Amino acid sequence: MTTREHDMAGDVRALTAFVGDYQDVVRRGDLAGFQQAYHPSAVVSFPENGVLQTTTATAFAREVADLVEQGVVVEETTRALEVAVAGDVAVIRVDFHLQIGDEHFEGTDFYSMARLDGTWVITQKLYDMAPVAAT
């Protein structure tokens, strides 16, 4: 294995761990954790009724934190994960199950990532999800 392949394998491991840590941040509604995970200019987008909805990562984090503060369960679990790395950028695809209160969803997140000063951060999150029956 070349040094570059070894580094890429390490990046894939780090980014896989990042997803687990991020899901824990979501579950806890941890605003400081969201700040660490997202670049300050990051956006979160999703299609709704044929229109792309976009918000800041800060507003997205506040919405999740508010739900958790109100006692609402917000639990995301990974169903499948793919990571593609090219130097200091990466894309992570996460097929997920999400519970928000009594509602359940399945969907996919696409995270655009950048390594800045040795730390991976989300620059954009694009997702789609649909309601499913509770399992």
CA angle 20–21–23, rounded 5-degree value: 65
pLDDT digits (tens, 9 = 90+) for 36-68: 999 999 999 999 999 999 999 999 999 999 999
Long-range pairs, 27-33, Cβ under 8 A, ≥24: 27/68, 27/74, 27/75, 27/76, 28/68, 29/64, 29/65, 29/66, 29/67, 29/68, 29/69, 29/74, 30/65, 31/61, 31/62, 31/65
HSE on the CB side for 15, CA within 13 Å?
28
Tell me the β-bridge partners of 106. 97, 130
Q: What is the pTM of this model?
A: 0.94
Q: What is the pLDDT of residue 34?
A: 98
pLDDT digits (tens, 9 = 90+) for 74-114: 999 999 999 999 999 999 999 999 999 999 999 999 999 99
| Furthest-apart CA atoms within the chain: distance in Å | 50
CA end-to-end span of the chain: 42
Q: What is the pLDDT of residue 8?
A: 87
